[in-house]
Amino acid sequence: MSPRIGLARVSGRSMEPVLREGDRLLVLHGARPRPGRLVVAQLPPGPAGPRPMGVKRATHRRVVDGDVRWWLASDNPGAGTDSRTFGPVRAGAVVAVVLARLPRRRRWASHRRRRA
């Protein structure tokens, strides 16, 4: 699979202050993560069932029983679930690397001229 560009939207507070709820991210699917980079990953299921995709920081790579795994961390550990809860994730669960945060859209007020 060749790398391709995509978009992702931040949901939740786990990556504050770097990323905020609603931020839009430019991501590269199929790219190899590096320690310290932000990634989009399929998080392992929890006791309540499947978890959504999440944006986390790939802190370090480990090899467990011949399998490459990544330790994923929240920048705001008080507001998110990360590898401290679910352990390292398989390299295949990391689906994209974050390239950039896109500027927030400004909401422009309607400026209609009033006739006297």
Per-residue pLDDT of the chain (116 residues; tens, 9 = 90+): 677 999 999 999 999 999 999 999 999 999 999 999 999 999 998 888 888 899 999 999 999 889 999 999 999 989 889 999 999 999 999 999 999 999 887 665 555 555 65
Distance set, CA 88 to CA 24, 56, 98 (Å): 26, 12, 19
Looking at the domain covering 4-102, what would its CATH class be? Answer: mainly beta
Provide the residue ranges of all domains of the chain, joining segments of one domain with +.
4-102
* pLDDT value at residue 108: 59
Tell me if 28 sits within 8 A of 4, measured CB to CB: yes
